[in-house]
Amino acid sequence: MNMQLKRYGALLFRYLRPQWRRALVLAILVVANIALQLLSPQLLRTFIDSALAGGVTSGLIGLALAFLAVGFSQQIFSVLATYIGTDVGWTATNKLRVDLAEHCLALDMGFHNERTPGELIERIDGDITALSNFFSQFVIKIAGSVLMIGGILVVLTIENRLLGLVLAGYAILSLFALNSSREIAVKATAEERESTAALFGFVEERLAGIDDIRANGGGAFTLRKFYELSQHLLTAGRRAWIKHSLMWVIVVGLFTVGDLLSLGFGIYLFGQHLITIGTVYLFFQYTQIMADFVDELTHQLQDMQKAGASIGRVQELLSTTNRMVDGEGTAIPDGPLGVEFEKLTFAYGEATILKDLSFSLRPGTVLGLLGRTGSGKTTLTRMLFRLYDPVSGSIRISGVDLRDTRLEHVRQRIAMVTQEVQLFHASVRDNLTFFNRDVTDQRILAVIGELGLDEWFRALPNGLDTMLGAGGSGISAGEAQLLAFVRVFLRNPGLVILDEPSSRMDLATERLLERAMHRLLKGRTAIIIAHRLSTVRRADEIMILDHGTIQEHGNRAGLADDPSSRFSALLQTGMEHMAA
Res 178: pLDDT: 67
Instruction: Give residue 475's domain range.
Output: 339-578
pLDDT at residue 502, rounded to an integer: 55
* 268 and 188 in a common domain: yes
Same domain, yes or no, for 268 and 368? no
135 in the same domain as 43: yes
Q: Is the domain of 313 the same as that of 344?
A: no
Shared domain check, 347 and 314: no
CB 50 within 8 A of CB 63: yes
Non-local (6+) Cβ contacts of 85 within 8 A are 26, 136, 137, 140
How would you class 163 by CB atoms within 10 Å of its CB: exposed for 0-12, middle for 13-18, buried for 19 or more? buried
Residues 448 and 567 in one domain: yes
Return per-residue pLDDT of the chain as tens, 580 residues.
Answer: 455 566 667 777 788 888 888 888 888 888 888 889 889 988 988 999 899 888 888 889 999 999 999 999 999 998 998 888 888 888 888 888 899 988 888 888 878 888 878 778 878 887 887 777 677 767 677 777 778 888 888 888 888 888 888 888 887 787 777 666 666 776 787 788 788 888 888 887 788 778 778 877 788 888 888 999 999 999 988 888 887 777 677 777 777 887 888 888 888 888 888 888 988 888 888 888 887 777 777 777 667 766 777 787 888 888 888 878 888 888 899 899 999 999 999 988 788 999 999 999 999 999 999 988 888 888 899 899 888 889 999 999 999 999 999 988 898 899 988 877 888 888 889 989 988 888 999 999 998 888 777 887 888 888 899 888 766 666 777 778 888 888 888 888 999 998 866 555 566 677 777 777 788 888 899 999 887 766 778 899 999 999 899 999 999 999 999 989 998 888 887 654 443 3
Number of domain units in the chain: 2
As a whole number of angstroms, the distance between CA 468 and CA 473 comes to 7
Residue that is last in its domain, among 286, 318, 350: 318
pLDDT value of position 3: 54
347 class by beta-carbon count within 10 Å (0-12 exposed, 13-18 middle, 19+ buried): middle
Is there a domain that residue 285 lies in?
yes
pLDDT (0 to 100) of residue 577: 45
Domain end residue (candidates: 265, 288, 318): 318
Q: What radius of gyration, in Å, describes the C-alpha atoms of the chain?
A: 35
Using the 8-state DSSP alphabet, how is residue 518 labeled? H
Domain end (from 284, 318, 352): 318
Number of CB atoms found within 10 A of residue 293's CB: 22
Q: Do residues 292 and 413 share a domain?
A: no
Rounded Cα distance, 256 and 1, in Å? 30
Q: How many CB atoms lie within 10 A of CB 169?
A: 11
Instruction: Let me know if residue 283 belongs to a domain.
Output: yes
Residues 297 and 394 in one domain: no
**Whether the model pTM is above 0.75:** no
What is the rounded distance in angstroms from the CA atom of residue 316 to the CA atom of residue 111? 13
Q: What SS3 state is found at 548?
A: coil
Instruction: Indicate the SS3 state at residue 100.
Output: helix
